[in-house]
C-alpha cells in the first residue's frame, strides 16, 4: 500500500513541478507522471481499478497545474468560486482521462516482457496525446510541453514532433526503471534506456551548438520586429468609453519606440484584439492607425474583431481577426482565427447557458475562419496563429505547408492573471518552432511576448503585466524539417507498429503455452 501512495505522490509531484508553476519549475520531473502511472497500473487488482487510480492521480496533478482555469470563469464570467472551480475540475477530468487509460494499458500488458512493455507504453503515450489533442481540443498537459523549458531535451521534435517525442522519453524512462529494478535482463535494459537518454541529450546539445543564439544579430536579412504591449485590463478593454484611450496608448507607445530607432522600418506587432472594435468600420479611430503606419513606413499586424455580412444581409459573421497593414497604411490582408476557444469565443450548443455569456466579452460569438494562407508582403510570408492556436501542431504544420517562412502568434493571456498559465502557454508554443523549423514571433497584451528561434530558444522575452515595447530580430526560413515532411504518417505508423508488436507477443505466448501445456 505504501508504495502505491508513493507512486501516486510521484505522479502528482511530477505534474505539478514538471509544468511551469508557482513554486519551482523542474521540467524533467514530468517523466514521473507516466512512470508512476505504469507502476500504479501494474500493481492494480483489475483493469478498471488501474483506470480509476490512474485517472484520479492524473486529475490531482492536473488540478495543481490547471487551477487557473477557474479564474476567468470567476473574474470575467462572474460565477462564484465553487461553480468556477467545478468548471476547472470538469475540464481537467476530461483532459486527464488519458492517464487512466494509460494505467489500464500498463495493467493489461504487465505479463509481457519488460522491454516490450516499455516500447508499447511509449507508443501508447504518443497516441493518447495525439488523439486527446484531436478529440478534446485542449492539448495542454503535454510531456514535451513541460520539457520545452529545457530546449536540450526537445530537439528531437524536429524529427518526431512533440507528441511522439513524449512517447520516446516515456520508453526511455521505463527502460531505465525496469532495468534498475532488475526485471528480465535488467542490465541490458538499463543500458538501453541509458543510451536512449544519452542519445536524446546528445542530439539536443549538437542541435543547439550548431546554431548559436546570437547567429541572427549580424545577419543583414534579419527581420526587424517591434512588439507593443498595452497591458490593458481584461475587464476594461471592452468598455466602449475606453476605446479611444486604448488607441491613444498603442499609438503613443509605437511612436515613442519608432523614434528611438528612426532608421528602422520594422514589422510592428499589436496583440490579439488589441483594438476592441470593428477595425474596418470605425471611421474615427481606424484612420489614425492607418496614418501612423504610413508615417512610419512599416508593416503593422494587429488584432481586432472583423465582421462580414452574409448573403441575406440579415446578420453579420464576426471573427477574431489579425489585420496586416502595408507601409502605406492600407490593409494587405487578414487572417481569421479558425480554432476558437469554448466559452471565451463561442458557447457550445450543448451548453448554451445564459449565465456563461459574460465570458463572451466585446462582440459575442465568433465564427471560425476558413483560410490558413500566409499574409504576404514581398519576401515576407507570415503564418498567423491567434492565441492558443499555437499549441496545436497541425495548425502550424498547415501554415508552413501553405508557404509561411515565419510564424506569428498574437495572444492575450490576461484572462488568467498572475498565474503560470502564460508560461505554460509560451513553452507549448515554442515546440512549433522546433517542429516546423520556423522562428516564432509572439506578441501579447500582458506578456509573455517573445521571439523563439528554430531551436525553441527564447532569444527575446518580455516581462509580464508591464506596459512596454520590445525590439528584436528574427530570420525567415524556407527549409522544412523532417517532422514537417512526415508528420501525417507518424500516428499511422505508430498504430501499425503497436498492433504488429502485440500480435507477435500473442503468437509467442500461444507457442510457449503449446510447448508447455
- Whether the predicted model's global pTM rises above the 0.85 cut: yes
179 and 254 inside one domain: no
**Domain final residue pick, 178, 212, 246:** 212
Smallest Cα–Cα separation from 97: which of 123, 146, 143, 131?
A: 131
Residue-level pLDDT at 98: 96
* Average model confidence (pLDDT) across the chain: 89
Provide φ and ψ at 451, rounded to 5°: -115, 130
514 in any annotated domain: no
Q: What is the mean pLDDT of residues 137-141?
A: 89
State the pLDDT confidence band at 512, using cuts at 50, 70 and 90: low
In a domain, 508, yes or no: no
Percent of the chain whose predicted confidence (pLDDT) is above 90: 69
Average pLDDT over residues 69-97: 86
484 within some domain:
no
> 451 is written with which cell numbers?
521571439
What pLDDT score was predicted for residue 350? 46
- Does residue 515 form part of some domain? no
Q: Locate cell 459575442: which residue? A: 364
| pLDDT at position 148 over 50 | yes
Peptide bond into 100 cis (omega under 30): no
pLDDT at residue number 184 = 61
pLDDT in tens, 179-195: 988 766 778 889 999 99
Q: If you average pLDDT over residues 42-53, what whole number do you get?
A: 94
Q: Give the span between the Cα atoms of 25 and 138, in whole angstroms.
A: 22
Class of residue 502 by CB neighbours under 10 A (exposed 0-12, middle 13-18, buried 19+)? middle
Q: Are residues 192 and 221 in the same domain?
A: no
Describe the crossing of helices 81-108 and 47-66 by its angle, rounded to 10 degrees: 140
Shared domain for 223 and 190, answered yes or no, is: no
Rounded average pLDDT over 327-347: 81
DSSP string, 178-243: HHHTT-SSHHHHHHHHHHHHHHHHHHHHHHHHHS-GGGGTT-TTPEEEEEEE----TTTTT-GGGH
Residue 514 has pLDDT above 70, yes or no: no
Whether 315 and 373 map to the same domain: the answer is: yes
One domain, residues 172 and 227:
no
The reply to whether 190 and 260 lie within a common domain is no
Residues 156 and 248 reside in one and the same domain: no
Give the CA distances from residue 217 to residues 147, 212, 265, 460, in Å, rounded to whole numbers and listed in that order: 27, 10, 16, 12
Range of the domain at 165: 2-212
Judgement on whether residues 282 and 397 belong to the same structural domain of the protein: yes
- Same-domain pairing of 136 and 273: no
Considering the domain architecture, whether residues 332 and 457 belong to the same structural domain is answered as yes
Per-residue model confidence (pLDDT) at position 507:
81
Contacts of 245 (CB under 8 A, 6+ apart): none
Q: Cα–Cα distance between 461 and 458 in angstroms, integer?
A: 6
Quote the pLDDT of residue 237.
Answer: 73
Residues 6+ apart with CB under 8 A from 382: 301, 324, 374, 375, 376, 404, 406, 407, 408
Lowest mean pLDDT across 251-265, 301-315, 456-470: 301-315
Mean pLDDT of 301-321: 80
Point out the domain boundary residue: 162, 178, 212: 212
Determine contact, residues 158/480, Cβ cutoff 8 Å.
Answer: no
Length of the chain: 517
CATH number of 280's domain: 3.60.110.10
Residue 345 pLDDT greater than 80, yes or no: no
Model confidence at 149, pLDDT cuts 50, 70, 90, reads very high
Mind listing the pLDDT tens digit for each residue in 217-251? 667 778 999 999 999 887 677 777 788 999 999 99
Q: Does residue 503 lie within any of the structural domains?
A: no
Strand, coil or helix: 382? strand
Q: Is the dihedral of CA 293, 294, 299, 302 positive or negative?
A: positive
Q: pLDDT value at position 506?
A: 84
* Cβ–Cβ < 8 Å for 171, 196: yes
Instruction: Tell me the C-alpha distance between 205 and 43, whole Å.
Output: 37
- 244 & 143 share domain: no
Regarding whether 353 and 291 lie in a shared domain, the answer is yes
Amino acid at each position: 500500500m505504501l508504495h502505491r501512495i508513493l507512486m501516486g505522490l510521484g505522479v502528482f509531484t511530477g505534474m505539478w513541478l514538471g509544468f511551469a508553476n508557482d513554486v519551482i519549475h523542474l521540467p524533467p520531473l514530468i517523466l514521473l507522471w507516466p512512470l508512476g502511472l505504469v507502476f500504479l497500473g501494474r500493481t492494480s487488482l483489475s483493469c478498471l481499478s488501474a483506470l480509476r487510480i490512474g485517472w484520479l492521480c492524473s486529475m490531482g496533478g492536473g488540478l495543481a497545474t490547471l487551477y487557473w482555469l477557474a479564474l476567468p470563469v470567476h473574474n470575467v464570467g462572474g460565477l462564484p468560486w465553487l461553480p468556477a472551480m467545478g468548471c476547472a475540475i470538469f475540464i481537467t477530468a476530461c483532459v486527464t482521462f488519458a492517464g487512466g487509460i494509460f494505467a489500464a494499458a500498463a495493467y493489461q500488458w504487465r505479463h509481457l516482457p519488460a522491454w516490450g512493455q516499455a516500447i508499447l507504453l511509449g507508443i501508447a503515450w504518443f497516441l493518447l496525446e495525439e488523439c486527446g489533442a484531436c478529440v478534446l481540443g485542449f492539448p495542454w498537459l503535454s510531456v514535451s510541453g513541460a520539457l520545452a523549458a529545457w530546449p536540450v531535451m526537445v530537439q528531437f521534435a524536429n524529427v518526431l514532433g512533440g507528441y511522439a517525442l513524449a512517447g520516446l522519453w516515456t520508453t526511455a524512462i521505463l527502460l531505465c526503471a525496469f532495468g534498475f529494478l532488475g526485471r528480465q535482463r535488467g542490465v541490458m535494459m538499463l543500458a538501453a534506456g541509458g543510451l536512449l537518454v544519452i542519445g536524446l541529450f546528445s542530439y539536443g546539445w549538437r542541435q543547439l551548438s550548431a546554431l548559436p543564439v546570437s547567429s541572427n544579430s549580424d545577419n543583414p536579412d534579419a527581420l526587424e520586429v517591434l512588439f507593443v504591449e498595452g497591458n490593458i485590463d481584461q475587464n476594461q478593454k471592452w468598455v466602449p468609453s475606453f476605446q479611444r484611450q486604448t488607441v491613444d496608448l498603442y499609438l503613443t507607445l509605437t511612436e515613442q519606440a519608432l523614434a528611438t530607432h528612426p532608421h528602422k522600418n520594422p514589422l510592428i506587432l499589436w496583440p490579439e484584439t488589441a483594438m476592441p472594435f470593428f477595425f474596418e468600420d470605425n471611421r474615427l479611430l481606424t484612420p489614425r492607425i492607418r496614418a501612423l503606419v504610413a508615417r512610419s513606413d512599416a508593416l503593422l499586424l494587429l488584432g481586432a474583431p472583423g465582421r462580414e455580412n452574409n448573403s441575406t444581409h440579415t446578420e453579420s459573421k464576426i471573427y477574431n481577426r489579425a489585420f496586416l497593414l502595408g507601409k502605406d497604411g492600407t490593409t494587405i490582408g487578414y487572417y481569421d482565427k479558425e480554432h476558437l476557444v469554448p466559452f471565451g469565443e463561442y458557447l457550445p450548443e450543448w451548453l448554451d447557458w445564459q449565465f456563461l455569456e459574460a465570458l463572451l466579452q466585446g462582440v459575442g460569438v465568433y465564427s471560425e475562419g476558413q483560410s490558413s494562407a500566409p499574409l504576404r508582403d514581398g519576401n515576407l510570408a507570415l503564418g498567423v496563429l491567434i492565441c492558443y492556436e499555437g499549441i496545436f501542431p497541425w495548425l502550424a504544420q498547415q501554415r508552413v505547408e501553405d508557404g509561411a517562412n515565419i510564424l506569428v502568434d498574437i495572444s492575450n493571456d490576461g484572462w488568467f492573471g498572475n498565474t503560470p498559465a502564460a508560461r505554460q502557454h509560451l513553452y507549448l508554443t515554442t515546440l512549433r518552432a522546433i517542429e516546423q523549423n520556423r522562428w516564432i514571433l509572439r506578441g501579447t497584451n500582458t506578456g509573455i511576448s517573445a521571439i523563439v528561434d528554430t531551436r525553441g530558444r527564447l532569444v527575446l522575452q518580455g516581462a509580464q503585466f508591464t506596459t512596454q515595447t520590445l525590439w528584436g530580430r528574427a530570420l525567415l526560413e524556407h527549409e522544412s524539417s523532417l517532422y514537417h515532411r512526415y508528420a501525417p504518417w507518424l500516428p499511422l505508423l505508430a498504430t501499425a507498429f503497436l498492433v504488429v508488436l502485440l500480435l507477435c507477443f500473442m503468437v509467442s505466448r500461444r507457442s510457449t503455452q503449446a510447448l508447455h501445456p
